[in-house]
Amino acid sequence: MTTRILLIDDHTLFRSGIRVLLQRQSDFEVVDEAADGVEGIKRAKQHRPDVILLDLNMPGLSGLETLQLLAQDLPNTAVLVLTVSEEAEELAAALRGGARGYLLKNIEADFLASAIRRAVAGEPVFSDGMTAKLVAQFRTPVPTAPAQPSAEDGARLTARERDIVRGLRRGESNKEIARDLGVAESTVKIHVQNILKKLNLASRVQVAVYAVEHGLTD
**Is the pLDDT reported for residue 39 higher than 80?**
yes
User: Pick from 139, 166, 199: which residue ends a domain?
Assistant: 139
Q: What is the pTM of this model?
A: 0.63
- Assign 218 a pLDDT band (cuts: 50, 70, 90): low
- pLDDT one-digit tens code per residue, 98-116: 999 999 999 999 999 999 9
Structural domain contains residue 146: no
> Same domain for 127 and 29?
yes
- pLDDT one-digit tens code per residue, 54-67: 999 888 888 999 99
> Same domain for 13 and 91?
yes
- pLDDT one-digit tens code per residue, 68-77: 999 989 999 9
**Is the pLDDT reported for residue 174 higher than 80?**
yes
26 vs 49, 136, 217, CA distance in Å? 16, 38, 53
| Cβ partners under 8 Å of residue 133, min gap 6 | 86, 88, 91
Structural domain contains residue 49: yes
**The pLDDT of residue 178:** 92
> Same domain for 33 and 76?
yes
Which domain covers residue 195, as residue numbers? Answer: 151-213
Task: Give the DSSP H/E element, type plus range, for residue 34.
Answer: strand 28-34
> Same domain for 77 and 171?
no
> Same domain for 10 and 81?
yes
Average confidence (pLDDT) over 88-99: 87
**The pLDDT of residue 145:** 45
Query: How many domains in the chain?
Result: 2
**What is the C-alpha separation between 155 and 150, in angstroms, rounded?**
9
> Same domain for 115 and 12?
yes
Structural domain contains residue 144: no
Average confidence (pLDDT) over 150-173: 80
Q: Classify the C-alpha dihedral 85-87-91-97 as positive or negative.
A: negative
**Is the pLDDT reported for residue 81 higher than 80?**
yes
User: Pick from 139, 170, 201: which residue ends a domain?
Assistant: 139
> Same domain for 183 and 104?
no
> Same domain for 132 and 46?
yes
What CATH number does residue 162 fall under? 1.10.10.10
> Same domain for 50 and 114?
yes
**Is the pLDDT reported for residue 172 higher than 80?**
yes
> Same domain for 119 and 28?
yes
What CATH number does residue 117 fall under? 3.40.50.2300
**The pLDDT of residue 41:** 94
